[in-house]
């Protein structure tokens, strides 16, 4: 081993790589069967309007309970699903499940709750994506207006002309569109203004230290102003403290999402949150 060879860094480097590759392959293989084994579920995190403290939407976040163990992190397995192409069938399941849940909430009387669904690069660039969304809306009976699709800033800017065309198709279905992780990619403002979107999501990396770091506060404030001038709603992600909320309110941010209000939770727990807050 590396130790015996006097800490041969090349050998320990390759061992490290091998371990990483093995881990990746194990996850990919597990993910291949995750759907049929019913290991996937969606959790829902409330989005709260600052002005009236009401939940007006949720974000669906994928959870994978692997071999009966704890949840693996989507930050780890979504890239693997993306790379392997498994995101296509999994993404279809996510979209259908989220729309069915949103429809169920509409029927149950929680009739102002928007369902935001994360869309990965490969899904968004798939030639049949708009068709899939249209079919899913039709089959689940969800009013399009209650569906919001989130694409990240980097995906949106990757081929911006093509993005505009796809976003227009999607927008014509009557749903809403938002730009996720805003501020972490390279946005061209001339493209941003042409995107038919309704919302910007300020990335949580800026919100995290905005109370102590004046640069992060300045960036957050600027994104909010940018959103306002483009007539977009702005939501801040990763809000964990009352101090962050107060500052966001001062900056005139529209909505917040974060552990301060709730972690992402299973549908039944979300319903409890909705019931309590609506009394």
The footprint of ligand C2E (CB under 6 A) covers 45, 60-62, 73-75, 78, 94, 118-120, 180-181, 204, 237-240, 258-259, 264
Which x/- pattern over 210-239 shows residues binding Mg ion (rule: CB under 5 A)? ---------------------------x--
Question: For residues 15 and 209, which CB has a smaller minimum distance to Mg ion in the complex?
Answer: 209
The entry of ligand C2E, Mg ion, none that residue 224 binds, CB within 5 to 8 Å by partner kind: none
The entry of ligand C2E, Mg ion, none that residue 57 binds, CB within 5 to 8 Å by partner kind: Mg ion
CA dihedral 85, 44, 64, 178 (to 10 degrees): 20
Least distance (Å) between residue 196 CB and ligand C2E: 20
Nearest to 57 by CA among 260, 259, 266, 255: 255
Nearest to 248 by CA among 277, 279, 219: 219
How, if at all, do strands 255-256 and 176-182 pair? unpaired
The entry of Mg ion, ligand C2E, none that residue 94 binds, CB within 5 to 8 Å by partner kind: ligand C2E
Nearest to 122 by CA among 158, 68, 75: 158
Burial of 109 (C-beta count, 10 Å sphere; 0-12/13-18/19+):
exposed
Q: Is 57 in the site for Mg ion (CB under 5 A)?
A: yes
Are the C-beta atoms of residues 58 and 116 closer than 8 Å to each other?
A: yes
Least distance (Å) between residue 32 CB and ligand C2E: 17
In the region spanning residues 92 to 131, those forming contacts with Mg ion, defined by CB under 5 A, are 114, 118
Question: For residues 75 and 279, which CB has a smaller minimum distance to ligand C2E in the complex?
Answer: 75
Least distance (Å) between residue 25 CB and ligand C2E: 20
How distant, in Å, are the alpha carbons of 64, 104, 116 from that of 39?
A: 6, 22, 21
Least distance (Å) between residue 234 CB and Mg ion: 11
Q: Which residue is nearest to Mg ion (CB)?
A: 57
The entry of ligand C2E, Mg ion, none that residue 61 binds, CB within 5 to 8 Å by partner kind: ligand C2E
Are the C-beta atoms of residues 96 and 41 closer than 8 Å to each other?
A: no
Tell me the two tokens of residue 181.
């992780």
d(CA 128, CA 85): 14
If residue 85 lies in a helix (H) or strand (E), which one and from where to where?
none
Least distance (Å) between residue 188 CB and ligand C2E: 21
Least distance (Å) between residue 264 CB and ligand C2E: 5
User: Where along the sequence are the contacts to Mg ion (CB under 5 A)?
Assistant: 47, 56-57, 114, 118, 150, 180-181, 237
């Amino acid at each position: 081993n590396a130790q015996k060879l006097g800490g041969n860094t090349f050998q320990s480097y390759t061992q490290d790589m091998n371990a990483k590759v093995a881990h990746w392959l194990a996850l990919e293989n597990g993910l291949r069967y995750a759907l049929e084994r019913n290991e996937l579920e969606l959790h829902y995190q409330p989005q709260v309007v600052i002005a009236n403290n009401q939940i007006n939407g949720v974000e669906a976040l994928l959870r994978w309970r692997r071999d009966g163990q704890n949840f693996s992190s989507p930050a780890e397995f979504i890239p693997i699903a993306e790379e392997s192409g498994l995101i296509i069938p999994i993404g279809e399941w996510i979209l259908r499940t989220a729309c069915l849940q949103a429809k169920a909430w509409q029927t149950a009387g929680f009739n102002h709750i928007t369902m935001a669904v994360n869309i990965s690069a490969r899904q968004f660039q798939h030639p049949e994506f708009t068709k899939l969304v249209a079919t899913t809306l039709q089959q689940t009976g969800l009013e399009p207006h209650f569906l919001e699709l989130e694409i990240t800033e980097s995906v949106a800017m990757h081929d911006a002309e093509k993005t505009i065309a796809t976003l227009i198709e999607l927008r014509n279905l009557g749903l809403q569109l938002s730009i996720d992780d805003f501020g972490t990619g390279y946005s061209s403002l001339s493209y941003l203004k042409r995107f038919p979107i309704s919302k910007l999501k300020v990335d949580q990396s800026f919100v995290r230290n905005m109370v102590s770091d004046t640069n992060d506060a300045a960036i957050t404030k600027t994104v909010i102003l940018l959103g306002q001038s483009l007539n977009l709603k702005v939501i801040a992600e990763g809000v964990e403290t009352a101090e962050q909320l107060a500052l966001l309110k001062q900056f005139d941010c529209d909505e917040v999402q974060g552990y301060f209000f709730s972690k992402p939770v299973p549908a039944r727990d979300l319903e409890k949150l909705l019931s309590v807050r609506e009394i």
